[in-house]
Structure 1
Amino acid sequence: MGKFKMRSKDLRGMSVEELEKTLRELRIKLMGLRYKAKVGLLENPGELREARRNVARILTVLREKREGEKA
C-alpha cells in the first residue's frame, strides 16, 4: 500500500476476499505507523491519518457487501 487515498468506487469493485486481504495489510501498516509515531520516527503524520481512513473505507465497503448478500 503506497501513500494514496483509496477510492470507495475502486474498493466496491473488489471482491470480499481482496478487501479482507487489503484490510489485513493496511492494519499491519497502521501498527507500524503507530509505533513510529510513538517513538518519534514518523516523518509524515498525515500518512497515519490516511491509513486510518483507508481502513474505515474498506470496513464500510465490506459491511455494505455483506448486508447486500443478506438482503
Structure 2
Amino acid sequence: MSLKAREIRELTPEERRKKLKELREELMHERGVAAMGGSPPSPGKIRQIRVSIARLLTIMREEGEKK
C-alpha cells in the first residue's frame, strides 16, 4: 500500500528519512528480482514504491528538509 500524503505529514523528519531509506532499499530489491527474470509478487509494486518515494521527497522539500 502506498503512503498517503496525510500519513507522511504526520511523521517526524527523522521517521521520514528512515522511511525513504527503507523504500529505496525495497525498490532496489524489487528491481533486482525483476532483472533476474523473476516476477514480482505484484506487478504494480515497483510503481507503487516509486510513487511513495516521490510523495515523501515532495513533502520533505515543501517543509525544507534535507535528503
How far 1:29 sits from its partner (Å)?
0.4
Q: Structure 2: which 5+ runs fail to align? A: none
Q: 1:8 aligns with which of 1, 5, 9?
A: 5
Q: Does 1:46 align with 2:44?
A: yes
Moved over 2 A (4+): none
* Coordinate RMSD, CA, aligned: 1.2
Structure 1: gaps of 5 or more residues: none
The amino acid of 2:52's aligned partner reads N
Q: Percent identity?
A: 38
State the partner residue of 1:21. 18
Structure with greater helix share of residues = 1
Which one has a bigger Cα radius of gyration?
Answer: 1
Number of paired residues? 64
Q: Distance in 2 between matches of 1:38 and 1:21?
A: 26
TM-score w.r.t. the length of structure 1 is: 0.83
